[in-house]
C-alpha cells in the first residue's frame, strides 16, 4: 500500500489518462457532496422538522385556549332577582323574617318565617321575577309559617 502511495506521488497523476482523472475527480466530488449532505443538510432538516412540530403543538394549544376562554363560567352570576341582598330586602319589606340565607352554585337556600299570606305572596312575586322554586318545606308554628326554600334562576 505504501509503495502505491509513493509511486502516485512521484508522477503518476500527470501520466494518467484523462478519463481516469475525470472518474477520480467525479468520485471525489460525490464523496464531498455525501459528506456535506450528512454533516450539514440532514441535521438542518431534522431541526426544521422539530421546529415545525413545536409550532404545530403551539397552534393547537392556542386554539384550545381560545375555545376554553370563550366558554362561559360554570357558575354564572345569579340574576338580580336572586341576589342575596335583594332577596333579604324584599323579604323584610314583605314583613318576613329571614333566618338563613346561603348559595350553592346557582341555587339559593333560604329559610324564613312570617304570616302565611305575605309569605305566599312573596314566593309568588319571586317566581314572577324569574326565580324558580326547586324545593320547599313549610311548617306551621303558631300563627306563623316557616319555610325553607331552594331557589334557582329560570332555566337552570
Domain ranges of the chain: 2-70, 80-153
How far is the CA of 118 from the CAs of 75, 127, 142, 151, in angstroms?
31, 14, 16, 18
Report yes or no on whether pTM surpasses 0.85. no
80-153 homologous superfamily: Ribosomal protein S6/Translation elongation factor EF1B (3.30.70.60)
pLDDT at 71: 59
- The answer to whether 100 touches 110, Cβ cutoff 8 Å, is yes
Residue-by-residue pLDDT tens, the chain, 156 positions? 565 555 556 678 788 899 998 999 999 999 999 998 888 888 999 999 999 999 999 999 999 888 887 755 544 444 555 677 888 888 888 889 988 888 887 788 889 999 988 888 888 888 887 778 888 898 888 888 899 998 887 665
The residues near 99 (Cβ < 8 Å, ≥ 6 apart) are 111, 112, 113, 146
Nearest partner of 126 among 106, 145, 153, 104, judged by Cα: 153
Amino acid at each position: 500500500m505504501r509503495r502505491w502511495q509513493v509511486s502516485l506521488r512521484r508522477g503518476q497523476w500527470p501520466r494518467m489518462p484523462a478519463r481516469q482523472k475525470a472518474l477520480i475527480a467525479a468520485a471525489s466530488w460525490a464523496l464531498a457532496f455525501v459528506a456535506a449532505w450528512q454533516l450539514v443538510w440532514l441535521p438542518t432538516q431534522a431541526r426544521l422538522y422539530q421546529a415545525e412540530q413545536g409550532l404545530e403543538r403551539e397552534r393547537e394549544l392556542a386554539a384550545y385556549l381560545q375555545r376554553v376562554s370563550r366558554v362561559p363560567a360554570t357558575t354564572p352570576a345569579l340574576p338580580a332577582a336572586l341576589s342575596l341582598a335583594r332577596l333579604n330586602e324584599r323579604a323584610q319589606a314583605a314583613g318576613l323574617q329571614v333566618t338563613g340565607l346561603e348559595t350553592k352554585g346557582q341555587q339559593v337556600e333560604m329559610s324564613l318565617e312570617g304570616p302565611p299570606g305575605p309569605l305566599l305572596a312573596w314566593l309568588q312575586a319571586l317566581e314572577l321575577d324569574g326565580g324558580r322554586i326547586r324545593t320547599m318545606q313549610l311548617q306551621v308554628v303558631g300563627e306563623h309559617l316557616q319555610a325553607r326554600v331552594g331557589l334557582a334562576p329560570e332555566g337552570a
